[in-house]
Amino acid sequence: MDPSQAHLLKGVTVWFTGLPSSGKSTLARMLERKLRKWNLKVELLDGDVVRTHLSKGLGFSKEDRDINIRRIGFVCHLLTRNGIIAIASAISPYRKIRDEVRQRIENFIEVYVKTPLEECEKRDVKGLYKKARAGEIQGFTGVNDPYEEPLHPEVTCNTVSETAENCVEKIIQRIEKLGYLQLVKVKS
């Protein structure tokens, strides 16, 4: 269905999680653009941008990563309760902190961007995996720090076997099915 209009029924957080270079930011930006086309209230909190502004000065220890995710979650909570679609794109490698954020935000959709490590390494334009494998970066998720896969995400996007467009469409359908969005086909 290619709707002509969409109505936001209530605020929701769409939380993208996955390995570095899995495609989280790409999918999040595509989702944001599609929702904005329908003139919906939407804000994107990308992990890299948040670290530059909201979490500047934090490192990559487990404690600092948890603080970063809590900050993103707090902002998403505020946006969501005020009737906005909050899109968060952050590695958020630890299941416990993701679950904590889920508990804080009433309307929450977890999107697991499931991409094999080998594929993430191929896509790594910043060369971070290579540096981590060479020992230049410690605590890098997927190499020398764990990534704990979600147990029950609302949406799983396999970016190797699905196109980005299909992934975004699947996410929008899930947002609608869960009652946050109403898609309307206007007859011409």
Catalytic residues: 92
Supply the Cα-derived Rg of the chain in whole angstroms. Answer: 17
Distances (CA, A) of 33 to 23, 39, 40: 16, 10, 10
| Residue 79: both structure tokens together | 């946006």
Nearest residue to 159 via CA among 111, 115, 110: 115
Question: 149 in helix, strand or coil?
Answer: coil
Contact criterion met (CB below 8 Å) for 27 and 168 = yes
Compute the distance between CA of residue 7 and CA of residue 16 in angstroms, rounded to an integer: 22
Q: C-alpha angle with apex 127: 27 to 91, nearest 5 degrees?
A: 40
User: Rounded distance, CA 37 to CA 50, Å?
Assistant: 24
Residues in the chain: 188
